[in-house]
Structure 1
Amino acid sequence: MPNGGNEATARIKINKLLQEAGWRFFADESGPANICLEAHTKITTNDLDALGANFEKTANGFIDFLLLDQRGFPFLVLEAKAEDKNPLVGKEQARKYARAQNCRFVILSNGNLHYFWDLDRGNPYVVTSFPNPISVAGYQKVTPDPQRLIDEAINDDYIVLTQRPNYASEAGWRNEAERHAYVQANKLRFLRPYQLNAVHALQRAAKEDKDRFLFEMATGTGKTLTAAAIIKLFLRTGNARRVLFLVDRLELEDQAKKAFAALLSTDFHTVIYKENRDDWRRAEIVVTTVQSLLFNNKYQRKFSPTDFDLVISDEAHRSIGGNARAVFDYFVGYKLGLTATPRDYLKNFKKGCPATSDPREAERRLLLDTYRTFGCESGQPTFRYSLLDGVKDGYLVNPMVVDARTEITTALLSEQGFVVTFTDDEGEDQQQAFKQREFEKRFFSEKTNQLFCKTFLENALRDPISREVGKSIIFAVSQNHAAKLAQILNQMADRMFPGKYQSDFAVQVTSQITDAQQFTINFANNNLLGSGNFIPKYKTSKARVCVTVGMMTTGYDCTDILNIGLLRPIFSPTDFIQIKGRGTRRHDFFEQVFDEDLKAGVTDHQKRTFKLFDYFANCEYFEEEYDYDQVLILPRVSLGDDDGAGGGMREPTRTYEHLGADVLATIQEEAIGLEGMRVDRMFFDRFEDVVRKNDAIAKAVEDGHWDRVIDYVNREVFNKPEEYYTLDKLRRAAAVDRRITLREILEKIFGLIPKFKSKDELLEEEFSKFVADAKPTDAASLPAIKNYFKAYATSDRLRHIIETRQYTDLNTNPVFNSRDFRAVPEKYRTLIPAYIKDYVSLNQFLA
């Protein structure tokens, strides 16, 4: 394309981006014009069109966009470059012009790649849209001083000084005998040594001019308290005026708000965005879910890149996955990620391994992306405090693993699987094998579930005060499985503890259950279905076991949990770490005792461990070197009529083969376009109605429980005789040029995405991430780099050619030829394949 064409196209894009962000070339009902082309030059509509022809070559030199504030004073300089030039080439010229106009802010853009530059804060920052005038005006009120951030004195009472500024002079604190009771009564939160170390680690990183940080802290080590200290540090030192705290589940919004209110409300105001859509700007701390901001691209429509000076991502490993990372990267400023998933899971993975070859491969990609997003490409977080650190320091407890496998589960776990022999309709003997993934999905065994529950009850840790079964959480395969297990446990408890329980020993806590979220709160508060069943003066939940699927995996604090049952196979390291983490917190059971006489007979009231019942070798799968503390040899399981293949297991899926004659009566051909057949479109509409009307699906989507949603749809909606919905049929009905996922379909139905993105739109998004990461400086070669990126991501043949170095085959490759390859700078010929293997899922581009 001729240079003038590049300039005109860039100018058209820049004009549009400015107008979309609320800047005005002409006065309207919103106010006077606040864009000048070539400082103090007035223009007309015709001038604006004409200037697109060759805006870099005018009689007076470069034409700069000078953006004005509400009073009409110079506010922000926008330096525009042609599409084939890197915006950064105008950096020094823009700095000079901005200083001359007394402007603090600069935008550098070529229409495709944009940088926002705060001259007082350091380096230009890649943005995906232009900031709006109101947001930049607010951003201007913050005068950053990184040195204050670095020099701020932070001791263990940093949060306490906000909660109760004069605590040190009060009698309750000064009297050592009363101090513990004083701290408890006022709910004062002192930073533990490792939490203090985390804050100091961030200060050291800031001293090295870093603006992205990652804290890897084990579940139960107080990430929210640590985050509160970081928030106070930034707000107090003037390095932030507003903080965005991102969570990945709806129930965690309220939990985070309450925590920050208890810790920081004396100095700072916290709101949940969805409850304060019109006045969130009055708060210093805004809490929201990633899903809420993704809904209809709300983060772009309702927010400007400069609205928040610090963005914190809780459970960063989960909340920046997939398209959620776009939300996180959208905002300018400091970024902090909090995660409980250790980097150790990066070990022993083959780079570029196809996602289908190892169930953990998707997790590996997410981890790599997490570390890269937070500036920790080396795999070393800004601060790390592991479960072993917590145990060693006395803040956490390790589990006692109960590795319990029946003959059936052992067979399910084997390479061959559990093999079933049956006779088909033709009288022929057939065999079918089942794997652990199919337990309670296609393989059912009532006797196995009963054996699981019997083993659990006979070996569970007991409450040290009441001697009843300790409070427990059991994780089931599905909601249907959870219902079965709760029923079995209640029946067994009735026999083991006559008269003590009335079908309230075990409770199903899943999204299908009314008030399930309140059940989790009541369980933590020791009043689920009553309290003090064995000893009235001892406050502990009457219900002893919560049977769930995914509701109680993350962010759930219940310190007196003594048993966790894994009655399902787990393939996600994140899920495994989170589930195990429900039991790692320490607990003093005397906190629940209101009768001193009760205490006299208790020899050990401290929680020192918890039992982790593992029926599917999950621990072996994730931690092969783990030293198991206890292994139970279960009684031999009969494989007769009452179990295994003979009982409780559904008949294997069979196919029907029609052997009769048939004739072809008529034939005609019709080409179907991308819009698909009408019957397919109607099919999709009917599926949408079915899903929308399902309260269980709607609630789980709202809460962000995608594993449960997808599992439920696969079990309860797909392949039913009424409509026989399948994923393949829905894909055809959607008429998209790639293989969309079930999650995308559900996100579209519930308005979380406005439309299905085409293959090229996804490629553009991935390339934008690559550009933001690699920051290519040679803008002239950017089209060639993009062409290579897209071709490599979508062509198996090209990937094979590059990986095997059979470059002569490029001569006959229709997708990407030798001339295309030579146009790519040498550096990117290897950088792009390495980047795509590590960070880009190729499955999304399949047709």
Structure 2
Amino acid sequence: MLSDKEKKQLSESDICDLFITPALKSSGWDPFTQIRREVTLTPGPIIVRGNLSSRNKKKKKFADYVLSWKPSLPVAIVEAKDNNHTVGHGMQQALGYAEILKVPSAFSSNGDAFESHNKFPNEGEPIEQTIPIGSFPTPEDLWERYRAFRGIENTRDDLLLQPYHDDGSGKEPRYYQAEAINRTLEAISKGQDRALLVMATGTGKTYTTFQIIWRLWQAGAAKRILFLADRNILIDQTLVNDFKPFGSVMTKIKNRTVDPSYEIHLGLYQALTGPDEADKAFKSVSPDFFDLIVIDECHRGSAADDAAWKEILEYFGSAIQIGLTATPKETKYVSSSSYFGDPVYTYSLKQGIEDGFLAPYKVVRIDIDKDIEGWTPPAGAIDDLGNQIEERTYNQKDMDRILVLNKRTKLVAERVVKLLNATDPFGKTIIFCEDIDHAERMRKAIVNAAGQIAIDNPKYVMRITGDSNEGKAELDNFIDPESKFPVIATTSEMLTTGVDAKTCKLIVLDKSVTSMTTFKQIIGRGTRVDEEHGKFYFTIMDFKKATELFNDPDFDGEPVVIYEPDDTDPPEPPDPTSDDDSDDEEISTTGTTKIRVSGVEVSILAERVSFMGPDGELITESYRDFARKQVRSEFTSLDDFIQRWNSADKKAAIIAELEEHGVLLENLAQEVGKDFGDFDLVLHVAFDQPPLTRSERANNVKKRNYFTKYGDQARQVLDALLEKYADEGIQAIEDARVLRMRPFDRIGTPVEIIKDVFGGKAGYEEALKDLEQELYRQAGS
């Protein structure tokens, strides 16, 4: 039995191993299936400033314990603290994690007892109370509390308890995916046959859908399933990726034929229906054939398209129907919510970026003089074909739709290539153009602006539009992270949605976008994080003021039904000028006459760079400004920083602390200078002190004859450490492996140096600490 004093010497991990975990096990919690330790809920948001990025690990959500009734059903959180804290010290953390997981039970413990918080107490029962360490609630107790909290007491348990598909890789749903899956299954288990999931692009809607279908299929609640989409690429990606585990029971509907020998059917609306009765392939099976229908991107479609998918859903009206969308569409004529009901779960772009699962963006807004000021042709002006130009003022909306200024196209292309050359010439880029003609002219302009790189690599830039077989053939290569080419895709509508371009780093908007739905989908092309390939954020380069839509409250707000459709309402008339939802049907300019003018000079009037701030608003701030704020939030003054730096046994601990706040000193070195050490970078950026280079600090130590108190061999080691510091910095000399390198290996092995030269580990560490104090001695004096 440990004494109180001994218990206070234990680490938090020791408290977990010796007290908390045994208490859970004694209450019946299975350590293999019900107890998960050190669970990362969110990785923390990525900060972008300039061309630099870092992750703010201080905002990482990391639970000490997640307790589950079954692996797929978390029911409680336990936050642990060492015994120097009170029992309830971790409760606020625990409540935050419980809110993320939407569970009613949160606990905090320091090994003496448990502080309990119950979000769904019985009448007369306290919300919070302290319970003995040996009286932790049983799994059955917390499962029943969870059922009452979620309102699922009288439901089909087989649907709720069915495990996820496990492919053996260790991959499991993220917290919001698990919540989306469980909310959907809970709704279905209560008899709800229509459900809407709203999840931002890049958050794994298809993987989430697969797990929903898998669990319903395994439980026998849905034997025949139809997955509906409106693009071949969506179907093909789903077949070979997320839905692959269904194997031989799965098929893609082809030739307008529904093969009843398969259980999982993936199909296009277009393959199942059409304007004529003979086209309605879905009627080849009975109305009760499908038990479950999932509609991907259910917001999309013109009036005619809506009629098409609704016609299919109404025919299979007895089936459970789940709609998926990143952008629920709510207009007078089309309402996702009116058909499916309110979303059972919503996970927004803002939340995804805040959690760190989605990539943040920076916005480069560029104003071109003829767009902003307009262009009025002089009297009698003619275009490149010799035709008279109508005398009126042409503005931004006219550019590349009605009026083509060739020098404007060249200017845009050159500015895009300039940004790529300054960041990553091989960073995947999508340029959204007004129409197919504009996309082709932009492709040509990019080739000319790129120069040698386009000569050496004919597929450096490709036009990927619905009418180009050559471009469409390269689509898979464009979205494949392992494929280097194409790098740049010019398009009109084809890449607006459904293209899983994980490594897309640059989105160029030279297209007028007024539809919030379309804008959200375009932005979604860049929101995926791909750490393996160095993709942490993306840039939006806007030439047409489209990013003003970021200022609209509806950009990341909740969908609002502004009109309940009525069966007596006439169909929505198509709008040939709208850019909304014309996904595959790109604007063809065949037979359209545009005014093309070569001689008009254009120039950039203004250029502004903005970044996502902590509140999701766009701000103008450099990485240096950001680092200054973060350092000053952690250290109250220059003296505070110097004192903590000098008193730290390992300077790496202070550096790690700064990284927790998103301050990467190598990023600062890129802005201030790579010859400065970590200490001086912080002093200069955060506290306006003149910095010294590492070499200057090392030379100052040498000038003070600091080594004279040591023997010859010790002086050799310390002199070599100084040189190592001057070349590589403080972390290099604090790493014990440094003694294995040259020139130390000429003096002796690490063991020989530590034991024979410095008299043991304590002597070596004391000498290293003295050396560091000498390096930073003049600071603050």
TM-score bracket, shorter-length normalisation: 0.3 to 0.5
TM-score, structure 2 length as denominator? 0.48
The higher relative CO (CA closer than 8 Å, separation ≥ 6) is in: 2
TM-score, structure 1 length as denominator? 0.44
Structure whose residues are more often strand by fraction? 2
